[in-house]
Every structure is written in structure tokens, then in C-alpha cells.
Amino acid sequence: MGQPSQVVEASPVIALRPVVSAPPAAVEQSPGLIARPLAAFGVIGAIGAGLYLGSFLLAVVLVVATLGVARAGSAKLGLRRSFEAYLVRRRRYERRRDRDAALERAGVPRDTLVELTMLSDEIERLDPQLARRFELEDLLDRHVALSLAHDRCLRAMRMADRDYLVRMRADHNGRAGGRRRAEMFDRRIRYWDQCKAQADQCADELATLADLVRLLAQKAACPEVLIDDDILERRLWELDEEESALHMLSIGNG
């Protein structure tokens, strides 16, 4: 008899595989890890842009404020100058009104004053520096003061007849007890002579002042033309040289 066969069961084979770790570059990155640095960069960029924009706006505000202050200062300066010019015109108007009123109250003719006022306005228009240097308004005030003084001297002289005073003085000198009357007539004659001398002096100064204003008006009307003979001579010499050069050139070409 043969031997019974033995069935041998094969044991299962377990295959062992080595665990190979993936390289770092191959590791999957989650979206959250990627978004966080980008958000940080965005925040930093936004902060930088905000600072830049803020500094730019601040610079614009400072420039606008500076321009506004400068403009306000210039406007204030212009307003001050306009106000000062208005005050000057106002004072001039008041002075002229007072001058006219003074002569009118005294009954003194204003023909010469009107002429001199018109001439002073013309001088002021043509040459303001000349008008300021000679103080035309003060000259007009002086004219009025002299006119009033001259008129008062004439009034005082018209209050007595000098020839009559001389005759009365002679009559009382020959009378007994008439010495005091003769001395009074002699005083009145001397005072009449003083008034006559002052009137003549005022009239002479009035005429001189009027001539001075007329002279200033002529000076302002005539411009100061600068005539330089050297310039004309130099231009003529250049013209002669040019003509001579052209003549020599034409001879050479011929």
C-alpha cells in the first residue's frame, strides 16, 4: 500500500514595501497656507499706498493752504494800498473844499486858484514824482493863505485915505493943543504904510508861486528825451562799413 498523500497548505506570503517619503516639493499645500502670505502682502501694500496717498494729499493741502495764505496776504496788501490811496484822495478833496470855502467866505476871487489846481492835477497825472517832490497841495494852501492875507491888507488900507490923513496931520500940527491928534494921524499913516508894504509883499509872493506852478506844469508836459550822439554815430559807421564791404565784394566778383 502506498503511503497516503499529505496535503501541505501554503502559508500566505506578506510582501513588505519600503515606505518612501515624498520629497518636500511634492507635498501638497493647502489653499489657506497660500492665501495668508498674499493677504499679508496686500495689507502691507494697502498701508503703504494709504501712507503715500495720505502724504500726497497732505502735500496738496499744504500747497493749497500756502497759496491761499499768500493770496490772502497779497489781497490784504492790495486792499491796504487801495485804502491808503482812497485816504489820500479824500484828504486832497477836503483840502480843496476848505480852500474854496475860505476864499468864498472872504470874497476873494478864485480864478487863480482854479488855474493852479488844474495845473497841479495835470502835473500829478504826467509826473507824480515831481508833484510829490514839490508838494503841490502845500503850495496851493500857501496860495490861499497869501490871498487871504493880501485881501486883509487891502481892506485895512481901504479903511483910511492916506492923503486925508496927511492933510489932517498937517492941520493939527499947526494948532495949539492939537499935538495928540497929530500924533494919532501920524500913527495911522505909518500903519497904512505897513499894510501897503505887506500887501505888496503878498502880491509878489503870490505871483512867484503861480509862476512856479506854471513852470512845473511845463516841466511835466515836456518829456526828458535822452539824445545819445554816440549811438547815431555808431549806427552810421556800421552802415558805411557794410556798404564798403559790399562794394569790395562786388569788385572781387567782377
28 located within any domain: no
pLDDT bin (cut points 50, 70, 90) of residue 115 is very high
pLDDT bin (cut points 50, 70, 90) of residue 75 is low
CB neighbour list of residue 22: distance below 8 Å, 6 or more residues apart: none
pLDDT bin (cut points 50, 70, 90) of residue 63 is confident
Question: In terms of pLDDT, which residue wins out, 181 or 234?
Answer: 181
- Tally of domains within the chain: 1
| Least confident span in 192-196, 203-207, 249-253 | 249-253
Q: Which of 101, 191, 95, 188 is nearest to 148 (CA)?
A: 101
187 located within any domain: yes
pLDDT bin (cut points 50, 70, 90) of residue 64 is confident
188 located within any domain: yes
pLDDT for the residue 11: 47
Q: Is the pLDDT of residue 27 over 50?
A: no
176 located within any domain: yes
Percent helix, strand, coil in the chain, to 5, is: 80, 0, 20
144 located within any domain: yes
2 located within any domain: no
Mean pLDDT of 65-86: 72
179 located within any domain: yes
Question: In terms of pLDDT, which residue wins out, 75 or 183?
Answer: 183
Alpha-carbon span 110 to 107, nearest angstrom: 9
Q: Is 242 helix (H, G, I), strand (E, B) or coil?
A: helix
Residue ranges making up the domain that contains 150: 110-222
78 located within any domain: no
